Amino acid sequence: MLRIRNLFASIDGKPILRGLNLNVHAGEVHAIMGPNGSGKSTFAQVLVGRDIYEVVADELTFDGRNLIDMPPEIRAREGIFLAFQYPIEIPGVSNLYFLKSAVNAVRSHRGLPELDAVDFMSLARQQAAELGIDDAMLKRSLNEGFSGGEKKRNEILQMKLLEPRLAILDETDSGLDIDALKVVAEGINAMRSPQRGIIVVTHYQRLLNYVVPDHVHVLAGGRMVRSGGKELALELEQRGYSWLENEQKAVVTP
Amino acid sequence: MSKDPRTSEILAQEYPYGFITEIDEDSVPAGLSEETIRLISAKKNEPEWMLEWRLRAYRHWVTMKEPTWANVHYEPIDYQTIRYYSAPKGRNNDPKNLSEIDPEILRTYEKLGIPLEEQTWLAGVAVDAVFDSVSVATTFRRKLEELGIYFCSFSEAVQKYPDLVRKYLGSVVPYTDNFFATLNSAVFTDGSFAYVPKGVRCPLELSTYFRINARDTGQFERTLIIADEGSYVSYLEGCTAPTRDNNQLHAAVVELIALDNAEIRYSTVQNWYPGDKQGRGGIYNFVTKRGKCLGVNSKISWTQVETGSAITWKYPSCILMGDNSSGKFYSVAVANNYQQADTGTKMIHIGKNTKSTIISKGISAGHGQNSYRGMVKVLRGAANARNYSQCDSLLIGDKCGAHTFPYLEVKNSTAKVEHEASTSKIGEDQIFYCQQRGLSVEDAVSTIVNGFCKQVLQELPMEFAVEARKLLGVSLEGSVG
């Protein structure tokens, strides 16, 4: 569903992604790992159309449609979702109101009738309860004053309600204690489906104990330097990233 | 930001209330003199005392200078080129029912979405519609009269309730008050009058809808609302004007009087023509609004959403005379394109244990300049006075400006006065976050702005709040692009 060939991205003339390749098929869970500064977050942001990056690629398509010129909100409505590493606060806008606007924007794009307040409320409540999100949190301003864990759980709630076809989770495990991590992981696992692709971007292997990936890729220096199965994540956990980076340097400068 | 092609379409969107109604007008020649004032007074068949009051105001006005302290800039106004009276021609002085009103005018109000038919009863709104200088219809009057509530045009009140008018007219805003209020006192043409008797809770939202139609006409309305002891009234005011390329002057005066234990809530949604994208045309909205909490435990609140006008100069204020009285000011002011807004409030604490609250939200976009100007004054006798002020500014883009001018004068040491202020910019990251959830740029801006204004919008009556939200969205469309 997602095909990426030779993707380059730069910001203010500074190259970050340099020739990245990746294919994601429906039903697969891909983990993107890598050291700090390797371009993981840039990659996530580029996929959803953040326009501060200059992007060129031989191919960047979602279900055969070119993403490069597609505005971010259309990508979202087409079913690409990003759980942000740092979810944004919007004061005065209730979480519930925002969720309803988002769900209805996506529904109307898909030709589905918009949900009214009552239907939406019962849907949201039920999904929220599974993530340990109570009514009070639904009524608070979006992400304002939320703890790190609350913000991340709220991202997962949005993902569940929006039912994307491709979900990208950017460092969703960061800042979570072990209980919150389990709740979030359960939320992600519940989203696994033959119709859906999931990309988990993470620095640590920890989350992958709970969300077991089909494929693991290591991003370093703006490109994928190693791909493998779930065992690659364990190897990285033991050996760190430096051996791969050294290997990479050895390839570039023999 | 986004390269969304719709942004440019929306940029081209025009003021949707800019149509002109073709009707015959009965107006006086342009220019201002004692003669003009006598003519206006005669057309309205006013009693001698009313004419005298106007003339006193006029004679004072000619000695005054236009104020220059506000943070707004405009070409000098030539007061001799303005027509001070314009009325749709051929109407009876007092339409008994809707069938007597020119159908063209009815269609105008329909286009504006203001229903004059009595089904508005269902919405719980009684409407007094002011078209240029005269009031064309007042709905539900009979229902209100059963409760002893008078709600009619100001002109009619002069004829029918002269004692109340004489007692209270100018008691809050004297005819010497300021340049524009004095001009209004001399030439005011119509407006609304409401009196709610002792102990009555007005069951309807009273509403006036102002529209400026005629070219080169100033609109000088005068509104007087009196809430007698223990009564309650909520009043709504909405305004639009057609698109014209010259600047039209609107200098209104509103006076509110709350007696013992009475409460008045006054809400405005102002959407006068703001001028075009280059800053040509638009209404000069130079308005004096003031309420007097005359009685003990009385309450007055002003809620305003100011999205229109080329220039807004407006400070709805409260004089807190009665002990334990309270004044509130909730304001949203938008300055987009080349709009200028200098608005705020004055809270004058005179009685003991008086309280005031000021919540001001200024939004600047395009080349707009938005100033909050507020005064909190605590007089010597105002023991235990309390004030809380919060002034927040939101900037969209980097060519606009936000300014805050708080004035504080405290003469009683038991007073507590708090002031908080903030300035923020709509973040690209906020807009992007909304887009990633499927919202368009316009919806994102409107969502963020509505969140910013929430404290004010929630003070508005329900139907009005819905309209205000839409209006905020429309007036800021294309501001991010």
pLDDT (tens digit per residue) in B78-123: 888 887 877 655 444 444 455 555 666 566 656 655 555 443 433 4
How confident is the model over B114-142, as a mean pLDDT?
54
**pLDDT at residue number B74:** 86
Range(s) of the domain holding residue B115:
5-476
Above 60 in pLDDT, residue B186? yes
Above 50 in pLDDT, residue B2? no
Lowest mean pLDDT segment, chosen from A134-148, B108-122, B265-279, B409-423: B108-122
Residue B66 in any domain: the answer is yes
| Phi, psi angle pair for B308, to nearest 5° | -105, -160
Question: Which of B425, B436, B448 should one mutate to test binding to chain A, selecting the residue with the greatest count of A CBs within 10 A?
Answer: B436
Residue B145 in any domain: the answer is yes
Using an 8 Å CB-CB cutoff, list chain A residues near B1.
Answer: 51
Above 70 in pLDDT, residue A169? yes
Above 50 in pLDDT, residue A225? yes
**pLDDT at residue number B121:** 37
Helix (H, G, I), strand (E, B) or coil at A200: strand
How confident is the model over B64-76, as a mean pLDDT?
87
Q: Over the stretch A32-69, which tens digit does the pLDDT of each residue have? A: 999 888 999 999 999 999 999 999 999 999 999 999 99
Question: Which of B394, B437, B453 should one mutate to test binding to chain A, selecting the residue with the greatest count of A CBs within 10 A?
Answer: B437
Q: Over the stretch B409-457, which tens digit does the pLDDT of each residue have? A: 999 999 999 999 999 888 889 999 999 999 999 899 989 999 999 999 9
Residue B41 in any domain: the answer is yes
Whole-model pTM? 0.81
Residue B119 in any domain: the answer is yes
Q: Over the stretch B332-366, which tens digit does the pLDDT of each residue have? A: 998 888 888 899 999 999 999 999 999 999 999 88
Bridge partners of A174? none
Nearest chain A residue (CA) to B4:
A71
The size of chain A, in residues, is 254
Of all residues in chain A, what percent carry a pLDDT higher than 70?
Answer: 96
- What are the C-alpha distances in Å from A240 to residues A211, A222, B84? 20, 18, 82
In whole angstroms, give the CA distance from residue B100 to residue B91. Answer: 7
How confident is the model over A6-31, as a mean pLDDT?
96
Using an 8 Å CB-CB cutoff, list chain A residues near B450.
Answer: 92-93
How confident is the model over B368-378, as a mean pLDDT?
93
CB contact under 8 A, B2 and A71: yes
Decide if A115 touches B, using CB distance below 8 A.
no
The size of chain B, in residues, is 481
Number of domains forming the structure of chain B: 1
Of all residues in chain A, what percent carry a pLDDT higher than 90?
Answer: 79
Residue B481 in any domain: the answer is no
- Residue B6's pLDDT band (cuts 50, 70, 90): very low
Decide if A163 touches B, using CB distance below 8 A.
no
CB contact under 8 A, A92 and B443: no
**pLDDT at residue number A32:** 96
Above 90 in pLDDT, residue B475? no
Regarding beta strands A90-94 and A141-142, do their DSSP bridges make them parallel or antiparallel, or are they unpaired? Answer: antiparallel
Regarding beta strands A80-83 and A29-33, do their DSSP bridges make them parallel or antiparallel, or are they unpaired? Answer: unpaired
Question: For residues A108 and B478, which has the higher predicted lDDT (pLDDT)?
Answer: A108
Above 60 in pLDDT, residue B211? no
Residue B180 in any domain: the answer is yes
Domains of chain A: residue spans and CATH: 2-87+148-252 (3.40.50.300)
**pLDDT at residue number B214:** 53
CB contact under 8 A, B434 and A90: yes
CB contact under 8 A, B437 and A48: no
Decide if A48 touches B, using CB distance below 8 A.
yes
Residue written as token pair 């700090």:
A36
**pLDDT at residue number A253:** 44
Residue B369 in any domain: the answer is yes
